[in-house]
């Protein structure tokens, strides 16, 4: 235990935890971590490299424990999406830099997010907050098809369902009961489905000033409505026809949601009529973005984010980011039926091809594999880099031409067998 050093407090550091802990030590700080959910403490080794570990969820309890321990906390860092709203409340109670705590819930709960966006005059889809399957059906008919249903506290597309027509709504008979953080799902957002291009936008903010880091487009294989966006995700630049208006809209979102310190990840959809908010998160992006920044630019996400939360200005706010390549990430999805994975063919053929980075294999032969509806269900993925966007897209196409899934579909459930006597009419 290092009470002789000032410390940073990491809130739920189980996904980006190792990066933040290393950055804190590099800057000369002890590491105090607070785990607010059972999801966090269930992960083996979750508290590895902590100098102090707290297992509390109420911000006031966290602050009381910090004071009792005599910790000299200099920054509070939201290290996972589930703890974002608590981190900002803790920072305010400790008198440390953070984002507006009065808007913390709106940055986490999708229904509160829509309400805040509407109050701020931002364009958003028409929506309803519902609590049952029957209310989902009523809201869908009220708004008009197509709609999309999503848990208000969900993540990684879990439980998200696009309902393009009445037949799709009739087929929705079961709802997810718990989110990926093992918390009960008690409410859903039903909103108008926006048919348009989808983008994710990553910023860093320091004292209310915003610096765009990069923008990605979520590209799909065809024009069908979708509820899981990861297929070909490609970094774009300001030559893209939608780049400037998306960037301008996201800057308005950051101001409207009180984001003044640290990284943010915003997802929007873009149509000829306007740009629409899908989600705002005051956190680092998931997926491969942070790793690819470290490979191909001057951005050191964990150190730069921690610098922001310390109330200092990171150099990336002012200096050129110096991207040395364009990049992207792609997924091969199981889009047919659940079944047993026999093999992922073609992985060996990828070796030695320039521009192919990390290979991500989510299942092994013999595993049961679901239809890909959320991030944890991706069977195969890869990161890609190249001199320009065209090269990145060509490499993704090459991977798709070489890699395929062999799956034995599940057998349909057999109807119950009854005897002739049971079928007789009395």
Of 335, 343, 357, nearest in space to 408 by CA? 343
One domain, residues 339 and 385: yes
One domain, residues 218 and 303: yes
The partner residues of 191 in beta bridges, in order of sequence, read 127, 148
One domain, residues 235 and 272: yes
| CB neighbour burial string for 203-228, b if at least 16 within 10 angstroms, e if fewer | bbbbeeebbbbbbbbbbeeeeebbbb
The reply to whether 233 falls in a domain is yes
Final residue of a structural domain among 271, 297, 319: 319
Q: How high is the pLDDT of residue 45?
A: 78
One domain, residues 178 and 254: no
One domain, residues 298 and 342: no
Q: Is 103 exposed, middle or buried (0-12, 13-18, 19+ CB in 10 A)?
A: buried
Whether 128 contacts 190, CB under 8 Å: yes
Distance, CA of 235 to CA of 214 (rounded, Å): 7
The reply to whether 19 falls in a domain is yes
Q: How high is the pLDDT of residue 86?
A: 94
The reply to whether 110 falls in a domain is no
Distance, CA of 212 to CA of 202 (rounded, Å): 6
One domain, residues 334 and 311: no
One domain, residues 60 and 141: no
Whether 393 contacts 330, CB under 8 Å: no
Longest dimension (CA), the chain: 86
Query: Phi, psi at residue 176, to the nearest 5°?
Result: -60, 145
The pTM (predicted TM-score) of the whole model is: 0.92
Please tell me whether residue 15 adopts helix, strand or coil conformation.
Answer: coil
The reply to whether 23 falls in a domain is yes
Structural domain of 71: 7-96
In the chain, what is the straight-line distance between the N-terminal and C-terminal CA atoms, in Å? Answer: 78
pLDDT per residue rounded down to tens, the chain (426 residues): 556 789 999 999 987 789 999 999 999 999 999 999 877 677 777 888 999 999 999 999 999 999 999 999 999 999 988 889 999 999 999 999 999 999 999 999 999 999 999 999 999 999 999 999 999 999 999 999 999 999 998 777 788 999 999 999 999 988 888 877 778 889 999 999 999 999 999 999 999 999 999 999 999 999 999 999 999 999 999 999 999 999 999 999 999 999 999 999 999 999 999 999 999 999 999 889 999 999 999 999 999 999 999 999 999 999 999 999 999 999 999 999 999 999 999 999 999 899 999 999 999 999 999 999 888 899 999 999 999 999 999 999 999 999 999 999 998 755 555 443 443 333
Distance, CA of 131 to CA of 114 (rounded, Å): 16
One domain, residues 54 and 74: yes
The reply to whether 282 falls in a domain is yes
Final residue of a structural domain among 44, 76, 96: 96
The reply to whether 147 falls in a domain is yes
**Polymer length in residues for the chain:** 426
Domain at 157, CATH number: 3.30.1490.20
Q: How high is the pLDDT of residue 155?
A: 74
Q: Is the dihedral of CA 382, 388, 390, 394 positive or negative?
A: negative
> Beta-carbon neighbour count of residue 14 at 10 Å?
22
The reply to whether 312 falls in a domain is yes
The partner residues of 341 in beta bridges, in order of sequence, read 407
pLDDT tens track for 270-321 = 999 999 999 999 999 988 999 999 999 999 999 999 999 999 999 999 999 9
One domain, residues 235 and 281: yes
The reply to whether 417 falls in a domain is no
One domain, residues 207 and 303: yes
Domain count, the chain: 4
**In what helix (H) or strand (E) does residue 130 lie, and over which residues does it extend?**
strand 127-130
Q: How high is the pLDDT of residue 415?
A: 57
Please tell me whether residue 91 adopts helix, strand or coil conformation.
Answer: helix
Final residue of a structural domain among 319, 338, 373: 319
One domain, residues 217 and 294: yes
Distance, CA of 56 to CA of 83 (rounded, Å): 11
Domain at 230, CATH number: 3.30.470.20
One domain, residues 236 and 181: no
């Amino acid at each position: 235990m290092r009470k002789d050093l000032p410390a940073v407090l990491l809130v739920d550091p189980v996904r980006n935890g190792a990066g933040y802990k290393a950055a804190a030590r590099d800057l000369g700080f002890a590491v105090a971590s607070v785990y607010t959910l059972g999801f966090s403490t269930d992960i083996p080794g979750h508290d590895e490299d902590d100098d102090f570990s707290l297992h509390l969820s109420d911000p006031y309890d966290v602050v009381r424990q910090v004071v009792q321990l005599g910790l000299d906390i200099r920054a509070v860092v939201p290290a996972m999406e589930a703890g974002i709203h608590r981190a900002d409340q803790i920072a305010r109670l400790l008198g440390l830099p953070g984002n507006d705590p009065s808007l913390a819930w709106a940055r986490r709960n999708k229904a509160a997010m829509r309400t805040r966006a509407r109050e701020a005059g931002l364009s958003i889809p028409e929506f309803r907050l519902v609590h049952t399957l029957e209310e989902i059906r009523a809201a869908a008919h009220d708004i008009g098809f197509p709609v999309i249903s999503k848990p208000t506290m969900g993540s990684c597309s879990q439980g998200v369902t696009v309902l393009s027509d009445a037949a799709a709504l009739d087929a929705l008979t079961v709802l997810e009961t718990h989110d990926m953080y093992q918390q009960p799902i008690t409410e859903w957002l039903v909103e108008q489905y926006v048919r348009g291009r989808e983008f994710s936008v990553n910023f860093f903010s320091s004292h209310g000033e915003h610096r765009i880091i990069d923008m990605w487009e979520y590209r799909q294989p065809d024009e069908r409505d979708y509820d899981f966006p990861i297929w070909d995700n490609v970094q774009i630049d300001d030559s893209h026809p939608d780049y400037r208006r998306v960037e301008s809209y996201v800057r308005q979102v950051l101001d409207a949601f009180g984001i003044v310190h640290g990284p943010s990840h915003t997802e929007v959809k873009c149509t000829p009529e306007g740009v629409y908010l899908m989600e705002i998160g005051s956190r680092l992006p998931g997926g491969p973005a942070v790793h690819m920044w470290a490979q191909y630019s001057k951005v050191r996400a964990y150190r730069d984010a921690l610098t922001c939360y310390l109330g200092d200005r990171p150099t990336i706010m002012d200096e050129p980011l110096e991207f040395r390549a364009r990049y992207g990430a792609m997924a091969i999805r199981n889009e047919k039926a659940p079944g047993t994975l026999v093999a992922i063919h073609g992985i060996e053929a990828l070796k030695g091809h320039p521009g192919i980075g990390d290979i991500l294999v989510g299942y092994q032969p013999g595993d049961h594999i679901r239809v890909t509806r959320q991030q944890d269900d991706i069977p195969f993925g890869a990161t890609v880099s190249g001199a320009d966007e065209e090269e990145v897209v060509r490499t993704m196409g090459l991977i798709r031409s070489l890699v395929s899934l062999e799956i034995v579909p599940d057998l349909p459930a057999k109807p119950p067998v009854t005897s002739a006597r049971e079928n007789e009419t009395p």
